[in-house]
Structure 1
Amino acid sequence: MIKYDVVAIGELNVDLILNGIERTPEIGKEVFAKDMLLTLGSSTAIFAANIACLGSKTGFVGMIGKDTFGKLIESSLKKRGVDTSMLIYSDTYSSGATICLNYNEDRANITYLGAMAFMTFDNIDKTVFTQTRHIHLSSIFLQSGIKRDLLAILQFARENNVTTSLDPQWDPKEEWDMDYKTTLPYVDIFLPNETELKHITQSDTLEEAMSKIQPHINLCVIKCGRRGSILLQKQKEPIILDAFINNEVVDAIGAGDSFNAGFIHSFVRGRSHKESQITGNLTGAINTTTAGGTGAFTSKEKIKDIARKKFNQELKIE
């Protein structure tokens, strides 16, 4: 029986976000931040919280510690309508945490991986794949167990007629050892940003990177920040869609994850790729109007209100 529209599989941590930092920190010196926020972090969790707020029935599979941060992660997901019954609690490892030094539209992060690094395909209840229409994975370079088992997860999803999406995210080691030629044929929607895509394909330009992955993809949507997004398919011309510009950005933490949420929310409802791309661009922009990755996503009414007032758009999320 299908219980979920989407199940997110991946990393879980809290974000300690410091905003309004007066200057770049230096070793042996101290600087002040004007604002601090402790909130639900991790790309996969932000995606899950925000797509649930958009109206998709969402579940989460991830590993956390039996600690204060773990309780915050679980309660934050529950508060946003995400089913947490599939969370895996570790007696051995602590929950992960990221300190975000936020500078307007860019940031520097320091992450303690904790339990997220140790989850594998073996830890996942395989009945998950019979209860959902779609599975989303993210941040594979932070999760050595999931990265090792990525192809097995994708193939198992394909065998169970479950569609998949993958956002690779940044590789902190900057090794970018993802075998995209083998992996991407099993990914229904590949969701890198332009920098990640160039690194994964070892390309000097975005055009070169696109040409390298095009023979292997089903569908790829490349996030390009303030320049919008590019939708790429096999043997078709790219669809380039301008961004919805917010000139009063609070921060851009989670903007890519919010794009993913909007795109996948539309995709699982059978809307066209172009409609899904428009929704993704808009939800990514909405994200930048408040602090943190989930701050703007508290209710459908609030999200629609921001879309109308900030961007003069009607957000179609029914």
Structure 2
Amino acid sequence: MNKPYDVLVVGELNVDLILNQVDKFPEIGKEVLADNMTLTMGSSSAIFASNLSTVGSRVAFIGRLGHDNFGDHILASLQSRGVDTTHILRSTAYNTGATIVLNFGEDRAMVTYPGAMKHLTLQDITPGVLQKARHLHLSSVFLQSGLQQDIVALFKGAKDAGLTTSLDPQWDPAERWDIDLPQLLPHVDVFMPNINELKAFTSKDDLTAALDAIKSFARNVVVKHGSDGAYLWNGRELLHQPAFLNKDVVDSIGAGDSFDSGFIHKFISGAGDQACLEFGALTGAINTTRPGGTGAFESLALVKTIAATSFNYSF
């Protein structure tokens, strides 16, 4: 049965105020300078959705925004990349979320005001909406307190409706990591933490031990490992994909989300595990060539040009 959406993205929505070329880390009571500032659509979920749409998947989004200028900016940004925003809810009671990002080379520090995003609930994601999509993706569950307690029900409902599923948990600001993975992961086709998140979830010090801790109840586990590339445990073997290295990184904001978009684009097309890893690594690297999470994904033509000129890769 043909469905209108390849991927339904459930997640947080906020703008990013990015300060680049900060001369040193701020201290209480002191002021530092940044040489560059960018205001752009942020949030892991929105970056994922936008870039996934750019590379060719049909994408719809469910989330919450305030009735404010930041919310207008996010809606316009998603719509300009072809994302269906019909199911995004707007509130007069809460402001749109915002993240202040301080960039230091390939590392960064962030402060986030959640705003409307934390008031999205399971009741906002109706069975009728799920039936319109082939795949469900959720990012940043710890920023969405209204949804977190029902995450198992959400993924079970998606699987019962015939969707494939993926989850990028992102960092837990409270560092409690209080998600019941043995109950959740059997309903998640692709679990997509980075190495630090996986270690935190499992209280293990290395990749092998962390994977061993969840293998018995996980399906596919994709682990993003920065310049070391990415790994995939598929239930049979551990695959590795080297990173596409960019010697002139502008910033790494959204690189993991862009990796997710490339991986899931290939996954829903039925590509093999290694092909999914490779395209994910490519889109993650392409992300680092422009500021913000979506700057390098203005169009498919631009993505292909960057792939060819910066990474000698054609598709």
TM-score relative to the length of structure 2 = 0.98
Letter in 1 for 2:183: T
Cα distance in 1 between the residues matched to 2:88 and 2:217: 33
Cα distance in 1 between the residues matched to 2:238 and 2:151: 27
Q: CA deviation at 1:237?
A: 2.0
Structural mapping, 1:113-262, within 5 Å:
113-234=114-235, 236-262=236-262
- SS of the equivalent of 1:165 reads strand
- SS of the equivalent of 1:178 reads coil
Farther-moved stretch of structure 1 (210-219 vs 192-201) = 210-219
Cα distance in 1 between the residues matched to 2:46 and 2:137: 11
Q: Do 1:214 and 1:233's aligned partners in 2 also have CA atoms closer than 8 Å?
A: no
1:133-171 superposed Cα distances (whole Å, 9 cap, x missing partner):
001001011111111110111011011100110000000
Letter in 2 for 1:238: L
Cα distance in 2 between the residues matched to 1:164 and 1:238: 20
Q: CA deviation at 1:90?
A: 1.1
Q: CA deviation at 1:126?
A: 2.3
1:95-147 superposed Cα distances (whole Å, 9 cap, x missing partner):
10000001111100000000111111012232111100001001011111111
Superposition CA RMSD, Å: 0.8
Partner in structure 1 of residue 29 of structure 2: 28
Letter in 1 for 2:128: T
Farther-moved stretch of structure 1 (116-125 vs 96-105) = 116-125
Structural mapping, 1:101-116, within 5 Å:
101-116=102-117
- SS of the equivalent of 1:109 reads strand
Cα distance in 2 between the residues matched to 1:197 and 1:29: 35
- SS of the equivalent of 2:297 reads coil
- SS of the equivalent of 1:296 reads helix
Farther-moved stretch of structure 1 (37-46 vs 172-181) = 172-181
Cα distance in 1 between the residues matched to 2:50 and 2:141: 19
Cα distance in 1 between the residues matched to 2:150 and 2:91: 19
1:43-69 superposed Cα distances (whole Å, 9 cap, x missing partner):
000000000000101000000001111
Farther-moved stretch of structure 1 (34-43 vs 176-185) = 176-185
Cα distance in 2 between the residues matched to 1:265 and 1:80: 15
Farther-moved stretch of structure 1 (256-265 vs 213-222) = 213-222
Cα distance in 1 between the residues matched to 2:148 and 2:189: 17
Identity, % of aligned positions? 50
Letter in 2 for 1:188: D
Partner in structure 2 of residue 64 of structure 1: 65
- SS of the equivalent of 1:253 reads coil
Letter in 1 for 2:282: L
Cα distance in 2 between the residues matched to 1:190 and 1:145: 21
Letter in 1 for 2:112: T
Q: Do 1:54 and 1:300's aligned partners in 2 also have CA atoms closer than 8 Å?
A: yes
Cα distance in 1 between the residues matched to 2:126 and 2:178: 27
Partner in structure 1 of residue 276 of structure 2: 276
Name segments (4+ residues, structure 1) moved above 2 Å: none
Cα distance in 2 between the residues matched to 1:118 and 1:73: 17
Letter in 2 for 1:269: S
TM-score relative to the length of structure 1 = 0.97
1:180-204 superposed Cα distances (whole Å, 9 cap, x missing partner):
1111000010000000001011112
Cα distance in 2 between the residues matched to 1:90 and 1:126: 22
- SS of the equivalent of 1:246 reads coil
Letter in 1 for 2:259: F
* Structure 2: gaps (5+ residues): none
Q: Do 1:154 and 1:187's aligned partners in 2 also have CA atoms closer than 8 Å?
A: yes
Cα distance in 2 between the residues matched to 1:314 and 1:180: 38
Cα distance in 2 between the residues matched to 1:164 and 1:124: 15
Partner in structure 2 of residue 287 of structure 1: 287
Q: CA deviation at 1:226?
A: 0.4
Cα distance in 2 between the residues matched to 1:87 and 1:52: 16
